[in-house]
Structure 1
């Protein structure tokens, strides 16, 4: 009498201990559940030529690792990228609810291994017309971007970036946590889309988190999202798109791409309330040439309605408002946990240098801020300036924030400076008429201060011509 599938895998596990030293491997599990599964793959010519596994913990974990090896060996990389817990459980003849986590862990380990292979260039597919790689976060916007690409007849693949993992933050509130990756993968598979994961945690920490901590300690207000888009996310995803033979990368951002005859430029979205061109301002023309923003002409309500009609489970999912690495934690707490030495108490002074009170640390404030000053005055007080070396915060009335000149360092333009006619100094602010002279932006109307470290989006009408960082 033949053995049941799960008993067969337990008595004769496939690939147990194989590829122990392979560079392309992934592990899932840990102390919380007591089960750990490690999967390794060797990919040649777009095919998983060999796979291996190791597992500790319950018998179901060992069986699930064996099942994954059997499923992926000899399969194309994209077929392997389509494997989810349902297929693993099916290969084992089904799993009891108490053991279903083993299939989840095995799949997570597999996809980490495939992601490592993809990032190292081991997965390289021939170019295919109409193939599009879609960046999926697990939210409604990226899901609809993938849906629209599929409806347009494109061969859709999906990628999710794992940028941050911190047990002290709420992974459900982060767009790039391990929980977000798992959710995005499940959604992609539900939509019939092969899914890959890129682990960019080291890059993200080096290029985004470390400068964020250093910036606040040094008295500036960094904009980590623009840095992430310009220095981490898009470069890696475009490289993956090329390796997978995709013509373009599509994302769920609200923005458009225009061409003025001299090459592509970023353009504001049709929905002013959702426009994300500011956050994407650091993208270069050579990147824009291979990008697509399917939601650029849509409003958020329209996107949600498309998702509802398609039966997507994320149609009414709430949007995350936090920075992905804060995810429910206070900024000051995060900085302290990252080793930033608190400046400690210091004086709050007026424009004449008179001491009005005491603050708990200059890093808690940014230029233009009102909240947290906690001083009685005839009119509301705002932060005008910070001296991080002396740990002094200067405050004054809102009128004292007014400025008509902003210096940028650095500044990057894709068109001559005389074509810039407006600037956007904050994500939520309206563009202000201006002209650029060297590294100085001269404003036609005054604005209430510009926080050093923030991005300035330089525009002509609705088109983005470049960007700069507000200097102190």
Structure 2
């Protein structure tokens, strides 16, 4: 229970239906800076809101201190990924480690029958066991952030809100008299209360920002940067190059952390059609192996975009996704999530982490 409307409605629905509910909120970071942040989850007010929902619905509520787990598994990884010139997705790491590994084990230790969350995604019993499907509300679908959910975890997890749209969730909250019915959705990374991710990296790695060259793709050195952590693939603003760079606007095309270089070029050079992946999680039919080479799938490379057609290539120990149409601004560190190749692209098949693009 993060203290938001979704997890609150999830818990309250289950309590109203007669299940024995135990509410758990995770304390993940120092609330001091974030306690007044209205649109970041898991702040001090959120713990209070979760407690009030539990009191109103008559079930026990506990706050577990997972600050050290979260710092090691999510925040440290977040900082190191940026310093490597990649773009991290901390919400996936949090689900993959703290929530669906550590908290799930707590639920099993309590002899719970399942662990329910307020995520917008559907768990459907298929012929070969439970399947993960995109949410009914496409605008709130969270399958991109849950691609790393394993089959074993899926056996134990439940997602009661997956068939609802957000307006229906808020209606239920108001109907049950929950204090969070009109609470705004969280929009920021929970441990970045200012919305400026470099503040977190500077605090964790105070001497990591090493200046270097901004280099055009043609080899010209155009200027100096403050450190690779301040730049992301596809960035145009804030390069500080002035007007003497040619006629075309320049974008960050690539980041070479080993050389300490930020490589820039025209917008067309951002196009990518091949993605090399690692750490694959497969929850589709059968096992992940060579027989899937050439499989048509649909993929998401950003959480906010619909799945698009692609093909899976497995050869010479490489796992490659070939996009049917090139995309722009893709970066190592991002997730590539697989979906079934059909009109709805509803079933989530898993995914992996992008290590390089071409």
Give TM-score, length-normalised by structure 2. 0.88
Supply the distance in 1 between the matched residues of 2:106 and 2:201 (Cα, whole angstroms): 32
Distance change (3 Å), C-alpha of 1:225 and 1:422 = same
User: Paired residue for 2:298, among 422, 442, 447?
Assistant: 422
- Structure number with bigger Rg: 1
Q: More deviation in 262-271 or 160-169?
A: 160-169
Contiguous gaps of at least 5 residues in structure 1: 1-135
| 2:336 corresponding residue in structure 1 | 456
The answer to whether 1:408 aligns with 2:277 is yes
The answer to whether 1:384 aligns with 2:253 is yes
Q: CA deviation at 1:147?
A: 2.1
User: Paired residue for 1:288, among 139, 145, 154?
Assistant: 154
Q: Aligned-pair RMSD on alpha carbons?
A: 2.0
Contiguous gaps of at least 5 residues in structure 2: none
| 2:22 corresponding residue in structure 1 | 157
| 1:63 corresponding residue in structure 2 | none
Supply the distance in 1 between the matched residues of 2:184 and 2:93 (Cα, whole angstroms): 24
Q: Which has the higher contact order (CA 8 A, sep 6+)?
A: 2
The answer to whether 1:442 aligns with 2:348 is no
User: Paired residue for 2:80, among 214, 222, 225?
Assistant: 214
Supply the distance in 1 between the matched residues of 2:221 and 2:266 (Cα, whole angstroms): 15
Q: More deviation in 387-396 or 434-443?
A: 387-396
Supply the distance in 2 between the matched residues of 1:222 and 1:270 (Cα, whole angstroms): 27
State how 1:33-432 maps to structure 2 within 5 Å. 136-170=1-35, 172-173=37-38, 174-375=40-241, 376=243, 378-415=247-284, 416=288, 417=292, 419=295, 421-432=297-308
Q: CA deviation at 1:380?
A: 3.4
Q: CA deviation at 1:404?
A: 1.1
Supply the distance in 1 between the matched residues of 2:85 and 2:106 (Cα, whole angstroms): 37
Partners of 2:35 and 2:44 within 8 A in 1: no
Supply the distance in 1 between the matched residues of 2:158 and 2:120 (Cα, whole angstroms): 10
- Whose helix proportion is higher, 1 or 2? 1
Distance change (3 Å), C-alpha of 1:429 and 1:212 = same
Partners of 1:213 and 1:340 within 8 A in 2: no
Q: How many residues align?
A: 337
Q: CA deviation at 1:449?
A: 3.6
Kindly provide the CA deviation profile for residues 277-304 of structure 1, in whole angstroms up to 9, marking residues without a partner as x: 1111111111111211111111111111
Kindly provide the CA deviation profile for residues 114-138 of structure 1, in whole angstroms up to 9, marking residues without a partner as x: xxxxxxxxxxxxxxxxxxxxxx111
Partners of 1:343 and 1:391 within 8 A in 2: no
Supply the distance in 1 between the matched residues of 2:74 and 2:297 (Cα, whole angstroms): 30
Partners of 2:339 and 2:346 within 8 A in 1: yes
Supply the distance in 1 between the matched residues of 2:339 and 2:114 (Cα, whole angstroms): 25
Partners of 2:214 and 2:262 within 8 A in 1: yes
Partners of 1:217 and 1:340 within 8 A in 2: no
